[in-house]
Amino acid sequence: MMFRDKRTWKSYVLITLGCLITAISMNVFLIPFKLAPGGVSGLSTVVYYILNGVIPVGILMLVFNIPLFLLGYKSKGRRFIIRSLFGAIILSLLIDLTAPFFNWLINEYFINLDTEMANPDLLLYALLGGGIMGFGLAIVLKEDATTGGTDLLAAVLGKMFPKFSVGQYLLFMDGCVIVFAIIAFKSVKLGLYASLSLYVASKSIDAYLEGMHFSKSLLIISENSEKIAQRLLNEVDRGVTGLKGIGMYSRKDKTVLLCVVKREEIHIVKEIVKDCDERAFVLLIDVREVLGEGFTPLQATQAGKNKS
């Protein structure tokens, strides 16, 4: 059965929530202002305006998604396809069902669409629409699903023609949709704002999936590594690991210190290293997410992985 346990129910509820957030972003910030940030949603937006709104965007998305699911069925697992099909159907329904409500809500409490369409603040709508859409899609992606779209076709093409990566195929297809929008709407400006929205959406997805808690990893090479390590342990209260290395010029054994700290602790570490050895070599590396003691608990992450 599709909903055989509580974890599966929770997963489908989160997929529905992600689709609702995506539908809100499209109905409020993107579709009304002809912003088509790539993918099936962008293609459907363009076709919707070409047909003068005769066929709703949600139905168009579903129609375009059907052949993509048929193509992607063999390259993706059954579980992934079922969840993605659920996400695609729910998103299409939510876009069409909530569109009248959000049009009324916007006109009643925020802006008058008829007036705003004459001189819209496209930068604001592109940024907000892309950011919110990316957040909604990230929730869906985290549940091992998608809302359909060109990612399925990109996966098939990547398997059939491995000369290019899946990401490159996605970029190409999204670019084609944006070019199509420029031609259909006869506006380069709309295409540029749609590109901005697509970029913001991708960054929003990365931030949600990879973590917002940026840290710094430090590699410290010094003749006084023992003294620096002790001060880091005592004053910063962070674990320090000594890595054995060899200076290829001097041919001497060296201890390379590895330490991960939060952003607000970086200046403290720099002062400690400077105080102990002004000739020390320090390499700072961006870290997207850190799991373990003093950072994000590993147990919580493991529980999230085990849910499916």
**pLDDT of 227:** 93
Most confident range (mean pLDDT) of 131-135, 216-220, 237-241, 246-250 is 131-135
Tell which wins on pLDDT, 33 or 109. 33
**pLDDT of 166:** 64
Helix-helix angle 188-210:166-185, to 10 degrees: 150
Q: Using the predicted structure, report yes or no on whether residue 66 has a pLDDT greater than 60.
A: yes
**pLDDT of 294:** 59
**pLDDT of 303:** 42
Which of 131-140, 231-240, 263-272, 282-291 has the weakest average pLDDT?
282-291
Half-sphere exposure in the Cβ direction for 190 (13 Å, CA):
26
For the chain, the residue count is 308
**pLDDT of 301:** 46
Quick one: average pLDDT of 172-193? 94
**pLDDT of 92:** 95
Q: Using the predicted structure, report yes or no on whether residue 103 has a pLDDT greater than 70.
A: yes
Q: Is 29 exposed, middle or buried (0-12, 13-18, 19+ CB in 10 A)?
A: buried
pTM over 0.85: no
Q: Using the predicted structure, report yes or no on whether residue 206 has a pLDDT greater than 90.
A: no
Place of tokens 């859409």: 133
Quick one: average pLDDT of 178-188? 95
Contact 200, 262 (CB under 8 A): no
The CA-based angle 69-44-23, given to 5 degrees, is 85
Quick one: average pLDDT of 22-40? 93
Q: Where in the chain are the domains? A: 6-210, 215-306
Which of 4-8, 162-166, 185-189, 299-303 has the weakest average pLDDT?
299-303
CB atoms within 10 A of CB 168: 13
Quick one: average pLDDT of 54-65? 94
Quick one: average pLDDT of 79-107? 89
Closest-CA residue to 288 (of 215, 203, 217): 215
Name which CATH class applies to 215-306. Answer: alpha beta
Paired tokens of 210: 């990879």
Q: Using the predicted structure, report yes or no on whether residue 281 has a pLDDT greater than 60.
A: yes
With a pLDDT cut of 70, the percent of the chain lying above it is 83
Task: Please give the mean pLDDT across all residues of the chain.
Answer: 84
**pLDDT of 299:** 54
What distance in Å separates the CA atoms of residue 73 and residue 87, rounded to the nearest whole number? 15
**pLDDT of 117:** 64
**pLDDT of 67:** 87
